[in-house]
Structure 1
């Protein structure tokens, strides 16, 4: 059964006009239920991630400042969110969703988190709408508790997974791959194990050819046991923050390639949604919904 982490607390209210579309976390599960892709049984409400796991992944000083709402104005500004206890609670819950989804992926082959993909969170600071790095937290959990010691972070959000790259720098048990806009945020890139920067306007054909060639090399280059898939849809041509040229069909083919790669190689995969900032919320929902349909088609 496809298991999907979701909670009403994912839909944190933001000030009017804020460019982060929180409403997608409410509309996406509604769409999946409406069209019959999933039923209510597919969803689980996650538990907050354990503080001990946070302290293994994030700097204790940063966590205490975040938990006690003591970030400086500049630190808050870097996150892009107005800081509040409910926002921190949301981040802790989302990270718990990715940790539990990783466990379900080991059981069923694939599992999803309606939110997550907070790849701009560093060990010691938050950036770019990310306070805690759920990808890193879920990876640390698998390493510590599930005997998984070769994890591939496959980050296909339009923005480089800079926080994840920094957290796992020098860790040969986690291979970080980021295929992202060369001239997009973050302007100062970190060094992943494998970075593929893309020029502005890169469209379906070029993108999918590069991705196919890359996937073909992974089993020889790293031999992963598990995939963390950050499947942001801000690669769409319509995305306000993206600058690439992908169509809805191209995004669907991207997700198909990744999930078929995982299935063919018997690699459990946890999918977290990442970014999506198109002007029309319907485009964001449709782009995200495709990966759930494909998960049902390919794995179940």
Structure 2
């Protein structure tokens, strides 16, 4: 079975009219996968629902004072503006649930070889501040959790969102057992890009062929050098040529090929992989759904039921 993680709260956030963040895409993606594709009736996939984490669980990763101020609505207005959302209890509840979803995806991937979270990828959250629609860093949180699992001694985060995973880089800079690998546009948010363990910064207008060829060569080297026991994969679709916040020239098929490339490596090398859908920005949220489903299509293509494994 291909485990998919989802909770309705992911799209239950009231935002000002015209807000840039595509909050409805999670519900639309779930509805498309569950109904229009009808994949649950193929005995290939299964949906799982997380239970929210408690705020105190984040205090070993993020600054305790930041977490307290965040959940109690006492962050300075400037820090909330940097995050990009107005504060609400809905926002906090959704954030804690999404972090729980990425952690659950790690557990499911450990059991089944793969898991996909229909949210996640909040990689701009730093130790003591949030940024770019990211309040807490679910990737760093889940990577630390993966290291507590039996036999997992090294984790690699492969972040293919078009924006560099700056928060992940700073949070995990001193953790030798978690390798941060970011593939992103060099002239895009964030303006300051702290060093990941591996950074592949590609120029604006990078084409599908250029992206896949360059990424594949660096991915091969990274996996050979670090030999991770577990991979967290941010499958952001804001690399697409029509994304409103990305500057690449990547096709729909290019997204599929990127996802299949990563999943093929994990399957053939028997590395459990927990994937999150990451970023993607359109005023018409429905236009994002076909892009995000490429991850699920790639997973079904690679992980046929008879080929699933237990690490």
Shift of the alpha carbon at 1:297? 2.1
The question of whether the paired residues in 1 share the 8 Å contact of 2:62 and 2:126 is answered with yes
SS in 1 for 2:256: helix
The equivalent residue for 1:248 is 252
Q: What's 1:236 paired with?
A: 240
Residue 147 of structure 1, CA deviation: 4.8
**Match of 1:10?**
10
Q: Which residue of 2 aligns with 1:165?
A: 169
The gaps in structure 1 that reach 5 residues or longer are: none
Structure 1 residue aligned with 2:39: 37
The corresponding residue for 1:195 is 199
Equivalent residues in 2 for 1:116-135, closer than 5 Å: 116-135=120-139
Matched residues in 2 for 1:22 and 1:180: separation? 23
Partner of residue 294, structure 2 = 290
Shift of residue 280 of structure 1? 4.0
Kept in 2: contact 1:252–1:290 (CA 8 A): yes
In the superposition, the TM-score normalised over structure 1's length comes to: 0.96
State the match for 2:110 in structure 1. 106
Stretches of structure 2 lacking an aligned partner (at least 5 in a row): 305-311
- CA offsets 1:117-167 (integer angstroms, 9 cap, x no match): 000011211000000111111111122354522000000000000000001
Contact 2:182 2:200 in 1 (8 A): yes
Paired residues in the alignment total 300
Equivalent residue runs for 1:32-71 within 5 Å: 32-33=33-34, 34-39=36-41, 42-71=46-75
SS for the counterpart of 1:197 is strand
Name the CA distance, whole Å, in 2 between partners of 1:149 and 1:128. Answer: 31
RMSD, aligned CA: 1.4
Q: What secondary structure is seen at the aligned counterpart in 1 of 2:115? A: strand
Residues 48-98 of structure 1, C-alpha deviation per residue, up to 9 Å, x if partnerless? 124443112111011000111111111000001111111011000000000
Tell me how far apart the structure 1 counterparts of residues 39 and 257 of structure 2 sit (CA, whole Å). Answer: 18
**Mapped partners of 1:268, 1:50: distance in 2:** 26
Q: Distance in 2 between matches of 1:27 and 1:254?
A: 23
Q: Which residue is 2:307 aligned to?
A: none
SS at 2:148 equivalent: helix
Tell me the distance in 2 between the aligned counterparts of 1:147 and 1:133: 24
Alpha-carbon distance in structure 2 between the residues aligned to 1:188 and 1:218 = 24
Q: 2:267 aligns with which of 263, 267, 277?
A: 263
Q: CA offset at residue 290 of structure 1? A: 1.0
Per-residue deviation at 1:45? Answer: 1.4
Q: Could you list the per-position Cα deviations for residues 34-55 of structure 1 after superposition, in whole angstroms to 9, with x for gaps in the alignment?
A: 1123359711111112444311
